[in-house]
Amino acid sequence: MPTGVALRDAREQLFDAAERILLRDGPNSLTSRAVTTEAGCAKGVLHRHFDDFDAFLAELVRDRIGRIDRQAVALRAAAGSGTVADHLTEALTTVFGTVAVAIVGLVISRDGLRARLRQAGSSGVPVLAEATAMLAGYLSAERELGRIAADADVDTLAPTLIGAGHLLFADREAGPPTTAAVHKVVATVLAGVVG
Spacing of C-alpha 58 from chain mean position: 13
Cβ distance 167 to 185 under 8 Å?
no
Task: Quick: pLDDT tens for 20-40.
Answer: 999 888 888 999 999 999 999
Q: What global pTM score does this model have?
A: 0.86
In order of their start, the domains of the chain are: 7-49 (1.10.10.60), 53-190 (1.10.357)
Sign of CA dihedral 133, 157, 138, 181: positive
Note the pLDDT of residue 8.
Answer: 59
Strand partners, 194: 148
CA angle (143, 89, 65) in 5-degree steps: 85
Best CA proximity match to 167, nearest among 118, 100, 71, 80: 100
* Banded pLDDT at 2 (limits 50, 70, 90): very low
Task: Quick: pLDDT tens for 128-172.
Answer: 999 999 999 999 999 999 999 999 999 999 999 999 999 998 876
Average pLDDT for the chain: 89
